[in-house]
Amino acid sequence: MPRASAAAMLAFPLAMLAGLLAVQEPGVAAEPAARWLADSSLPEEQESAAQALLKQRPLDLPALDRVVRLYAQADPATADLLEAIDQGAAPAAPSEIGAPLPSALASDVSLRLAAEHFIHRRYGEALAWLASVDPGNCVSPELAYYYRAVSHHQLGQVTEAGETAKQLLQIDRPLCRRTQQLARMMKRQADAHEEGSLTHIALLMEDVERRFDLQRTAPGDQQVQQQVIDALDKLIKQAEEQQQQQQQQQQQQQIAQSDNPAPSRPMDDSRPAELRGTGE
């Protein structure tokens, strides 16, 4: 797939995920949070609203945000994290937070923080939070796998993106056609992936450009830049070696032809030789 079209598919606005994935009835994934809500100090009206949202299974950021904000009304740790999000200071990783989250809410709140970094193209931070998300114990496994697959892909981690896309496709619930196409595209790219290929280098260069656009430095920036340089150097070296081999083959063919000249054509007796006289 051309670079531009692949990037366009992966960069469609997160808000468009609303309605892209099939709305499902609550399953095992929603049960821990549902039990926590039932035992919480939330007023009955707010608890009912939260339970209703869980049953609808949030499939976009606004719906996920509404669920987590209802959690925050009964959990101070969640409230602190949402305040940080609202101030544009979302923690970059779980290790940066203070009070621990209730285990029943940890996956959902971590997913909300991952989403915040994801929509701002901070894919490394998104993956750091997604590492704390258990898709089997969160309100939206579809979003968890989606964020993870696209984040890996945008960081040039094609194999990991393909593996996560495969998990997204294996969810025992129907996905919309566009989401399926996106996941299948990442899986196909992973199946055909070659480390250091031109396609891979193009992804890494997009990642370098993204990091420059964010106008901030991160520990992995120089590593990615060096990875691009090394991959390009390797391709250039391979091209030079191939050209040298072709030149050597051409020289060998020329030498072989000069050592074995083609036999001269015998004179045709049916025609008079140039130096023969008449009747001779």
For 21, the 3-state DSSP assignment is strand
DSSP 125: H
Are residues 178 and 13 in contact, defined by beta-carbon separation less than 8 angstroms? no
Question: Is 148 buried (19+), middle (13-18) or exposed (0-12) by CB count in 10 A?
Answer: buried
- Residue-wise pLDDT tens digits, 106-144: 999 999 999 999 999 999 999 999 999 999 888 889 999
pLDDT computed for residue 224 by the predictor: 67
- Residue-wise pLDDT tens digits, 223-244: 766 766 776 667 677 777 777 7
DSSP characters over 128-190: HHHTT--GGGSS-HHHHHHHHHHHHHHTT-HHHHHHHHHHHHTSSS-B-HHHHHHHHHHHHHH
E strands, the chain, are none
Between CA 92 and CA 96 the distance in angstroms is 7
Residues in the chain: 280
Show Cβ contacts of residue 267 under 8 Å, excluding neighbours closer than 6 positions. 273
pLDDT computed for residue 168 by the predictor: 92
Between CA 33 and CA 53 the distance in angstroms is 11
DSSP 271: S
Angle at 14 between CA 13 and CA 19, to 5 degrees: 105
pLDDT computed for residue 265 by the predictor: 57
**Is pTM beyond 0.95 here?**
no
List the chain residues with pLDDT less than 70: 1-30, 216-222, 224-225, 227-228, 231-233, 235, 258-280
Between CA 231 and CA 238 the distance in angstroms is 11
Closest CA to 167 of 149, 188, 154, 185: 149
Ramachandran bin of 197, using left for φ above 0, alpha for ψ from -120 to 50, beta for the remaining angles:
beta
User: Which amino acid is located at 55 in the chain?
Assistant: K
